[in-house]
Structure 1
């Protein structure tokens, strides 16, 4: 029924549940997930800044990592423009069968933008759109706390590893309600994903 599932993401909290739902659908139908992030421009002004493009790439990377863990094939893309227009254009050009989106971000501008984009996509899309509402509360909201959890996870995963001795490659960043904490260890580069809702940690090793 579904061969290509599109999951638009901006890295906000509101996309966490939609990622989970989208991957479940893709796994059920042995479909390919398309992770799409838009660096917005439009009536509300140009929102691009020095951090916007890297954040967009981290957002799709998050889905790619989650999909790999589930054995789901993934295509990633980062575009620039009016978000709902770019999503609809991507869906048409890539023969998307279903779109899975969050209904809102958590606060302020994020809440307005995510809700507005989803509303337009639902109204204008030629394919089914599944909307997912964020209901859980963020518990891990501090980068230092996320780093501490990640270091403990590394110690548990690699007995004998000095948790304080591994090198933090860059400051932890949060996207889609998950902290990504990158380390350099003796065995190579490791990204530890810490769920900001539950505090659970999962280790993703980067291929050399």
Structure 2
């Protein structure tokens, strides 16, 4: 029934539930999940800055990592333009069967942007649009706490990484209610994902 499920993400808290819902649908139907992030231009151009594009890439990489963990095929894309227009164009160009979106962000600004984009997509899309409301509360709000949990996870997974004291490569950053903490230990680069809602952590990627 569904072969391509599109989950737009801006990395805000409001997209977390839609990501989980989209992955569940893709897994249920053996579909490919498409993670799309749009760096705003046009009417939203005042929001664009040097950090916007890297943040967009991190947002879609987060979905790709979760999809890989769940055995779901994933495709990622970062586009630049007016968000609802880019979402609709992507859906048309990639034979998307369903779009799954959050209805609002947690902050006042996220609430306005995510809500307005979703409303436009719902009105204009030619395929079903599933809207998912944010309900969970963020518990891990501090980068230092996320790093502490990540280090504890590394210590507990001695078989996954070598036992040298890990060095944080850059400050932890949070997208879609999940902290990403990059470490280097004995020649390996290790990314630990810490769920900001539950505090659960897992080693997401290791590379030489």
Q: Same fold (TM over 0.5)?
A: yes
1:140-163 superposed Cα distances (whole Å, 9 cap, x missing partner)? 00000000000000000116835x
- The total of aligned residue pairs comes to 206
CA distance in structure 1 between the aligned counterparts of 2:87 and 2:206, rounded to whole angstroms? 29
Provide the C-alpha distance between the structure 1 equivalents of 2:53 and 2:206, rounded to a whole number of angstroms.
Answer: 21
Q: CA RMSD in A?
A: 1.3
Checking the alignment, whether the CA contact within 8 Å between 2:67 and 2:74 is kept in structure 1 is yes
Tell me the distance in 1 between the aligned counterparts of 2:147 and 2:193.
10
SS of the aligned residue for 1:181 comes to strand
Counterpart of 1:175 in structure 2 is 175
SS of residue paired to 1:182: strand
Single out whichever of 75-84 and 46-55 deviates more from structure 2. Answer: 46-55
Unaligned runs of 5+ in 1: none
Equivalent position of 1:161 in the other structure = 163
Corresponding residue number in structure 2 for 1:26 = 26
2:77 aligns to what?
Answer: 77
| CA distance in 1: counterparts of 2:153 and 2:134, whole angstroms | 27
Q: Which runs of 4+ in 1 moved over 6 A?
A: none
CA apart distance, 1:206: 3.0
Is the CA contact (8 Å cut-off) linking 2:190 and 2:207 kept in structure 1? no
How many angstroms apart in 2 are the aligned matches of 1:92 and 1:137?
34
Find the aligned partners of 1:12 and 1:44 in 2 and give their Cα distance.
Answer: 16
Quick check: 1:135 aligned with 2:135?
yes
Distance 2:189 2:27 in 1: 28
Separation of aligned partners in 2, 1:55 and 1:24: 24
2:126 matched residue in structure 1: 126
Q: Per the alignment, in what secondary structure is the counterpart of residue 182 of structure 2?
A: strand
Q: CA deviation at 1:184?
A: 1.0
Look up the match of 1:95. 95
Per the alignment, residue 51 of structure 2 pairs with: 51
Kindly state the Cα deviation for residue 192 of structure 1 after the two structures are TM-superposed: 0.5
Check conservation: 2:44, 2:82, Cα contact below 8 A: no
Residue number in structure 2 paired with 1:39: 39
Deviation at 1:187, TM superposition (A): 6.2
* TM-score (normalised: structure 1): 0.96
Contact 2:190 2:204 in 1 (8 A): yes
Q: Write out per-residue CA displacement over residues 32-51 of structure 1, whole angstroms, 9 at most, x where no aligned residue.
A: 01000000112243321110
TM-score, length-normalised on structure 2? 0.96
Q: Which residue of 1 aligns with 2:17?
A: 17
